[in-house]
Structure 1
Amino acid sequence: MARRLTALAALLCALPAVAQETPRVSVTRDPDGPVTVGTPVTITATVLVPTWMPSPPVWPDLEIADAVTRLPDRATHPLSQRVGEEMWSGLSRSWEIIPQRAADYDLGPAEIALTYADPATSQPVEASVALTDLGFTASLPPGAEGMDPFLAASALSLAATATGLPEAPKPGDAVTLTLTTTAVGPPSILLPPLAARIATPAGLRAYPKQPVLTDTAGERGAPPTATRTEAVTYVIEQPGDYAIPAPALDWWSTATNARETATAEGLAFEAAAPPGWHTESGGGPDRRLLLGAIVAGAAALLIGVLVWRGRDRAPKPPSERRLYHRLRRAARSGAPGTLRGLTLAWLARARPEDPAPTPAIEAALRRLERAAYGAAPEAPGRDDRRALRAALAAGRAEFRAAAVAARAPRLPPLNPPVS
């Protein structure tokens, strides 16, 4: 009987030691309390085992609706911690959860599956530990009502650059507007698009490219930097004065706890009409304006005669045939950005009364421009180039037939009516 009591007492004394040798988990949240919408909430889980883990644990993703979950730089790292009189080993994993609206967030039940070595036999033992207390509340700060979207950052800037615009732009030329948003704190996926907010002026055709999103980790624990780059190529289709408004973005500064607006410069330019460009005018001109134009024209003619007498004759403009063959060569292997300008120059000579492209020529030009300036730029295909050459040939034949018909004399009827 005494032996049984001694064995039972030894077993009861060993139970706490066995219980202590099971894996342990602890969870922390920063900040520990209400948070601002758009501000990252860092949840850190630490798992400890009495021996070692032969393989990494299986961590939960902690994804939740109306929030963005991401892993910060060096999200997982090993550690050791004293438990009683022994040194335990473990791993720590951090998640950043960014709430997108004012609400109560509950990440629900989550578990970490792991394998560790048995303290007595060193054999692998599978286990799971539960994560608790994963809820938090997010709210909008006073003064941020009506912001859509609500974007919180410690710093934010906008930049706009224009490239490709010649000194004297004309129809057929193109300009690329690049918008760059840089923010410290939020991930790039939260930066809103800006190009879609800018209305395309009449007379321009916009070809937006796919945005480029980048995230750069901060140095020595600093918050990451996010960048969103958007590019839109505008092809000039009509002469005129153009103004692309300056982009603007409202954001919430976590450094000043205030609403701020970031802006960048807009783009304004004038596209001159090429020689022979035909525009419709409404109504007759004023007589005084007409008289002034006649006087100015006579003076210009007199000055021109005097200048011509003292100088060589100006070079003759290129013929329709030369312009057409130059356009055909460009349509075969030239840069797509030059095709519209060459087409308009040829049309001004081939059909000066109406130099607008035919529907077939316009459709072929747009296919080539989409290939060069669209969301996924690529080399224009042979079929697109062949379609443009076919449309040009058909248009030229149509123009010539119309010109011949206009010059043909009208014959009297074979059987004139008897009076």
Structure 2
Amino acid sequence: MKLLALVLALFSTSLLAADPQLRVQATLVPGDTAVVGETVQLQLDLYTDTWFSSAPKLPDLTLPGAVVTPPGDQAQHLTQRLDGTNFYGMRYLFQITPQQTGDLQIPALTVSATPGTAQAPLSATSQPLTLHAQLPAGVPAGQRVLVARQLSLTQQTSPDPAALKVGDSLTRTVTLKAEGAMSLMLPVTPLGDVDGLSRYLKTPQVKTLDNGRGYTLGGQRIDAASYRIEKPGKYQLPALQVQWWSTQDKTLHSATLPAISFTASANPAYQPPFSVTEDLQRLGQQTRLHLSRHWLTAGLILAVLVLLGLLLRRFGAQWRTSWQHWQATRKARREASADYAWQQVPGQLRQRPPQLTALYQWWRRSRGSLRLAGADPDVLRQCYSANAQADASPEALLPRLTTLHHETVRQARGAPRPHSLRPLNPGHDKELP
């Protein structure tokens, strides 16, 4: 008994000390040949002779010229005997849909996992594969066609089209189910416009069909449109057709839906809606607020007035001070000009005795000199000669002064600008600063 116990202990110790195994197998289902648009499954089987203590880490797969859908979170559990040993594994499915003809090279995929008795994660690599893609038989080059094992195309209408009136809405719902095809590859159902009906498309519903255990069966797409009747008459929603290529009999098929005919009677109580608010609610959108142009204009004016009031309250005193300073500066500049001095000359000459202050100021400001050497000789003779009469009429000077004013203005227009150089020989006149 002691010897048997010792043998059992040594055997169990050897089993516990053995390193666990990790194996990976890759297979293309249904095979390594497919047509453009057909979905092929890449089965990635991961095996170990113990158990998995955590979820394995799968590699990313990208193939130029094909659409690849990675596996989901769920996996199929497997049991297989390899080399006389029981292995336990999990199967993950990659969906590959070729988009062009040629050979797709699937590289070797490395998977890492931690078996139950392993001290560190282990890695295993699958063998590389090649997928041959060709055009479906009977389909012209460049034409896209749905490829599936089986296809189902159905439609429903709501409400009953037998008793419709103006203002009513008829909803047409088309359901497309394709076994063996990806949901993203399903075509859009062409629910077109019809004269006399307002069409409102609804958001399509696309989902993947599976068996509930991680195995993809195909895809489903539901397209729907609501048609509101705008006027009485006879209407027909056109027939629909979907072409698809079967992977079972390798031929091209066509699925059709019949047209929907109905008659809409008049509805005297119906009033066309003023806005599209009700239609937006039917489409699941939020209600929009409509404002009249008058209220919008009044609101903008009120907002501008409030803004001006706030600005005046904040910067009113500063603006008022700046305005007063600008007015005072402008007035002082005007009173210091030659034109202002000339406006005072006639009034001062009519005084008794006549005043020449404004005349001197005008001459100084217009000529920039304190001397009257360049003035009219007749004016100087009448004002300063020995024969000048003290009681002479001052109006006699105005014609000559007016002529002198015109000449001075004409000369000032041709004079150098303030920023130009001064004359080379300025003479002996005393210039103002």
TM-score by length of 1: 0.56
Q: Which residue pairs with 1:57 in the alignment?
A: 56
Q: Which residue pairs with 1:200 in the alignment?
A: 193
Residue identity opposite 2:170 in structure 1: V
Q: Which residue pairs with 2:26 in the alignment?
A: 27
Q: Which residue pairs with 1:46 in the alignment?
A: 45
Q: Which of the residues 244, 248, 271 maps onto 1:255?
A: 248
- Partner secondary structure for residue 104 of structure 1: strand
Q: Indicate if the aligned counterparts of 1:207 and 1:370 stay in contact, CA closer than 8 A.
A: no
* Residue 73 of structure 1, CA deviation: 11
Q: Which of the residues 233, 238, 244 maps onto 2:237?
A: 244
Q: 2: CA distance between counterparts of 1:261 and 1:41?
A: 22
Q: 1: CA distance between counterparts of 2:177 and 2:34?
A: 23
2:81 is equivalent to residue 81 of structure 1: yes
2:299 is equivalent to residue 371 of structure 1: no
Q: Which of the residues 133, 136, 142 maps onto 1:141?
A: 136
2:176 is equivalent to residue 177 of structure 1: no
Q: 1:77-116 CA distances to partner (integer Å, 9 max, x unpaired)?
A: 14353446x5454433333323233232234453212123
Gaps of 5+ in 1: 1-17, 276-340, 345-356, 392-419
Q: Which of the residues 322, 343, 359 maps onto 2:271?
A: 343
- Partner secondary structure for residue 277 of structure 2: helix
**Pair 263,32 (structure 1): closer, same or farther in 2 beyond 3 Å:** closer
Q: 1:167-212 CA distances to partner (integer Å, 9 max, x unpaired)?
A: 4533321110111112222132221110xx2320232211111112
Q: Indicate if the aligned counterparts of 2:19 and 2:118 stay in contact, CA closer than 8 A.
A: no
RMSD: 3.6
- Partner secondary structure for residue 125 of structure 1: coil
Q: 2: CA distance between counterparts of 1:39 and 1:73?
A: 24
**Pair 225,73 (structure 1): closer, same or farther in 2 beyond 3 Å:** farther
**Pair 343,88 (structure 1): closer, same or farther in 2 beyond 3 Å:** closer
2:223 is equivalent to residue 230 of structure 1: yes
Q: Which residue pairs with 1:154 in the alignment?
A: 149
Q: In terms of Rg, which structure is larger?
A: 2
The number of residues matched between the two structures is 276
Q: 1:222-271 CA distances to partner (integer Å, 9 max, x unpaired)?
A: 98253221110011223343222111111112232211111112122333
- Partner secondary structure for residue 369 of structure 1: helix
Q: 1:354-411 CA distances to partner (integer Å, 9 max, x unpaired)?
A: xxx7xxx2xx2x2321211x2xx36x74x65xx59x89xxxxxxxxxxxxxxxxxxxx
**Pair 89,367 (structure 1): closer, same or farther in 2 beyond 3 Å:** same
- What are the residue-to-residue correspondences of 1:327-338 with 2, within 5 Å? none
Q: 2: CA distance between counterparts of 1:24 and 1:368?
A: 62
Q: Indicate if the aligned counterparts of 2:173 and 2:225 stay in contact, CA closer than 8 A.
A: yes
Q: Indicate if the aligned counterparts of 2:79 and 2:86 stay in contact, CA closer than 8 A.
A: no
Q: Which residue pairs with 1:216 in the alignment?
A: 209
- Partner secondary structure for residue 92 of structure 1: strand
Q: Indicate if the aligned counterparts of 1:160 and 1:266 stay in contact, CA closer than 8 A.
A: no
Q: Which residue pairs with 2:67 in the alignment?
A: 67
**Pair 87,230 (structure 1): closer, same or farther in 2 beyond 3 Å:** closer
Q: Indicate if the aligned counterparts of 1:73 and 1:217 stay in contact, CA closer than 8 A.
A: no
**Pair 174,114 (structure 1): closer, same or farther in 2 beyond 3 Å:** same
Q: 2: CA distance between counterparts of 1:89 and 1:257?
A: 37
Q: Indicate if the aligned counterparts of 1:52 and 1:89 stay in contact, CA closer than 8 A.
A: yes
**Pair 52,169 (structure 1): closer, same or farther in 2 beyond 3 Å:** closer
**Pair 201,47 (structure 1): closer, same or farther in 2 beyond 3 Å:** closer
Q: 1: CA distance between counterparts of 2:114 and 2:142?
A: 47
Q: Which residue pairs with 1:130 in the alignment?
A: 125
Residue identity opposite 2:79 in structure 1: L
Larger relative contact order (Cα-Cα within 8 Å, sequence gap ≥ 6): 1
* Residue 139 of structure 1, CA deviation: 0.9
- What are the residue-to-residue correspondences of 1:249-288 with 2, within 5 Å? 249-275=242-268
- Partner secondary structure for residue 189 of structure 1: helix
Q: Indicate if the aligned counterparts of 2:80 and 2:87 stay in contact, CA closer than 8 A.
A: yes
**Pair 69,186 (structure 1): closer, same or farther in 2 beyond 3 Å:** same
* Residue 146 of structure 1, CA deviation: 5.0
Q: 2: CA distance between counterparts of 1:19 and 1:139?
A: 48
Q: Indicate if the aligned counterparts of 2:68 and 2:94 stay in contact, CA closer than 8 A.
A: no
* Residue 160 of structure 1, CA deviation: 2.1
- Partner secondary structure for residue 24 of structure 1: strand
Q: 1: CA distance between counterparts of 2:180 and 2:31?
A: 19
Residue identity opposite 2:127 in structure 1: T
Q: 1:46-97 CA distances to partner (integer Å, 9 max, x unpaired)?
A: 334454432121122435353242548974314353446x545443333332
* Residue 221 of structure 1, CA deviation: 12
Residue identity opposite 1:211 in structure 2: P
